[in-house]
Amino acid sequence: MNATTDDPLTGFRHCHTGIVRRLHELNELPELIEPAARARSLAERSLAFFREAVFEHHMDEERELFPAVLASAEPGDEHNRVQAIVQRLTQQHRELEALWKSMEKDLRRVAKGQDSDLDTADVRRLVNEYQAHALFEELDFLPLAQAILGRNGNHLAALGLSLHLRHAPQPAPYV
């Protein structure tokens, strides 16, 4: 005796079981849409921020701050200490930037809502290493820079002016 031919309603019951199971899965979708949208937005903002702020920050330090502190450091132990710290910070900049660049393509895919092979361990590593870098800079280098540049108000003023000119909007050229 065949259930479908002898009891045609059994087939309908089995279909409903499958339909209801799929509807339960569909019911999860609203909870996933908001985190997916947040992931896209966060990836998009991070891409813009890293390129516009972090890379620019590193250039400011390497082109303006580090040379100013090195030029004002007293010869000998102080200069050697500053040189070692500057080398360490610059090396960290390159490592952080390389890690970022290795993730950038996948972050772009996330920002577009596409499947991605973004390595979450690399994201955590970038965050942790940058936090350690910033802490070292805040606790070791910047107080030393303040002490060195603070000996001569002109040195701090020159650094401030240099940074201002570097970031000031450029006037449109006269034609």
CB count in 10 Å sphere of residue 168: 8
Average pLDDT for the chain: 87
Q: How many angstroms separate the CA atoms of 166 and 120, rounded? A: 35
Q: Percent of the chain at pLDDT above 70?
A: 84
Residues 87/66, Cβ–Cβ less than 8 Å: no
Q: Which of 2-16, 39-53, 54-68 has the lowest mean pLDDT?
A: 2-16
Q: What's the average model confidence in pLDDT over 36-47?
A: 94
Read off the pLDDT of residues 139-150 as tens digits, 9 standing for 90 and up.
999 999 999 988
What is residue 52's predicted lDDT score, i.e. its pLDDT?
A: 87
Q: Is 77 exposed, middle or buried (0-12, 13-18, 19+ CB in 10 A)?
A: exposed
Q: Percent of the chain at pLDDT above 90?
A: 64
What is residue 159's predicted lDDT score, i.e. its pLDDT?
A: 65
Closest to 68 in 3D by CA, of 139, 168, 141, 135? 141
Residue 164, pLDDT > 60, answer no
| Class of CATH domain 9-166 | mainly alpha
Read off the pLDDT of residues 105-161 as tens digits, 9 standing for 90 and up.
999 999 999 999 999 999 999 999 999 999 999 999 999 999 998 888 765 666 655
What is residue 2's predicted lDDT score, i.e. its pLDDT?
A: 52
What is residue 123's predicted lDDT score, i.e. its pLDDT?
A: 96
Residue 61 exposure: Cα atoms within 13 Å on the Cβ side? 22
Residue 1, pLDDT > 50, answer no
What is residue 15's predicted lDDT score, i.e. its pLDDT?
A: 80
Which residue did the predictor score with more confidence, 88 or 152?
A: 88
Confidence of residue 17 (pLDDT cuts 50, 70, 90): confident
Residue 72 exposure: Cα atoms within 13 Å on the Cβ side? 22
What is residue 168's predicted lDDT score, i.e. its pLDDT?
A: 56
